Amino acid sequence: MSGGVAAVLGGLRTSGPLLALLALTVGFALADSGFATLANLRIILDSAAVPLVLAVGMTFVIRQGSIDLSIEGLMAACSLVFALAVANDRTQFDLGWLGLPVAAAVGAVFGLATGLIVTRLRVPSFMATLGLGSVGLGVAMLLSGDQPPLVRDTPLRQWALGQTFGVPNLALAAAACLVGGFFVEQFTRLGRYSYVVGGAESVARVSGINVDFYKVVVFAFAGLMAGLAAAMESARLGLGHVEIGAGQMLGTITAVVIGGTSLSGGSGSVLGSAVGVLALTVLANGMVFVGAPPHLEKAIQGAIVLVAAVLAGWHVRDRLRIVK
């Protein structure tokens, strides 16, 4: 095992996000007996699937020291493309399973565009992604027209709503993305270099790394994940919808930050983000179980972010550590 992997796992063990997740789970289980059942576990995994896929992509972007604010728009566009590409009530296309990679590809193209704008035109990533997100939203509205297209592809819908061996299919897909993301992060040159770019970009450049190339690849990857997530959600709900990504952006970034990835780049792992996603999903699910008003959820979410951030920085409470 590489030193990196051991370090990541070791870090998680003593980490705040995992503690937060455990605390939430135990808390809700005590509050309502129906919470800690197999049926609800399945539902939690199902609810966590789409945010997890998004978080994998976002982790890479944040690790690299950039930010991606375009998910909602990208998801909207990819959702519409997906819904119109598979059997639906508006167009004649019927791509079936190909609809998933097509949606992912559309996301990747958007991500590629973002990457090029950031590296060639030297636009900061938060601006470039905000802009491209709006473009995606506009494209989605154009495609949506009067009515959101309804997905009529039965096998796809059954897949999205169904399970295999008791595990929701979408959760399996998300797990596959997580494993893939982890592998890339720890064992490939892309993963290492994008981490290096996040930690010390100028040094990376001077060392001869083609920084721009890796940045573009990472943005394209995040776009790919957003497209896939959009397709999954559209298949589940049965329509291509402009609002399909609403609220996901802040939720994804929150999950990634809770999971231990610093917003300034050069740290973090997809495993941590996965823990963050689970924590937030458990929170939302548990709130419904105990019947708590939804605005309380936001307040608790905020508290969790704070606690996780404090715990993450606890061991380096150096007096002179710079905190902005």
Binding site for other proteins (CB under 8 A): 1-4, 7, 32, 34-35, 37, 39-40, 43, 46-47, 141, 144, 146-148, 150, 161-162, 187-190, 192, 195-196, 199-200, 203-210, 233, 236-238, 241-244, 246, 266-267, 284-285, 288-289, 291, 294, 318-320
- Residue 273 beta carbon to other proteins: minimum distance, rounded to whole angstroms: 17
Q: Which is nearer to other proteins, 166 or 208 (CB)?
A: 208
Q: How far is the CB of 252 from other proteins (least distance, A)?
A: 15
Nearer to other proteins by C-beta: 130 or 192? 192
With respect to other proteins, which residue has the nearer C-beta, 210 or 306?
A: 210
Please, what is the minimum distance in Å from the beta carbon of residue 146 to other proteins? 5
Q: Please, which residue, 215 or 241, has the CB nearer to other proteins?
A: 241
Q: Are 34 and 318 in contact (CB under 8 A)?
A: no
Smallest gap from Cβ 153 to other proteins, in A, equals: 14
How many angstroms separate the Cα of 255 from the Cα of each of 105, 244, 262, 308? 25, 18, 12, 10
DSSP 210: -
Q: For residues 283 and 270, give the distance between their C-alpha atoms in angstroms, rounded to a whole number.
A: 20
Closer residue to other proteins, CB minimum distance, 109 or 161: 161
CB of 289 to other proteins, least distance (A): 6
- Nearest distance from residue 99's CB to other proteins, in Å? 18
Q: Torsion over CA of 169, 171, 176 and 177, rounded to 10 degrees?
A: 120
In the DSSP assignment, the letter for residue 67 is -
Please state, in angstroms and rounded to a whole number, the distance separating the CA atoms of residues 288 and 40.
12
* Distance, CA of 49 to CA of 192 (rounded, Å): 26
Q: Are the CB atoms for 109 and 223 separated by under 8 Å?
A: yes
Spatial distance between the Cα atoms of 125 and 107, rounded to a whole number of angstroms: 16
Residue showing tokens 């019947």: 291
Helix axes 125-144, 71-85, angle to 10 degrees: 30
Q: Which residue's CB is nearer to other proteins, number 40 or number 59? A: 40
Q: What is the DSSP letter of 314?
A: G
User: Whole-number minimum distance, CB 186 to other proteins, in Å?
Assistant: 8
**CB of 120 or CB of 189, closer to other proteins:** 189
How far apart, in whole angstroms, are the C-alpha atoms of residue 212 and residue 126? 16
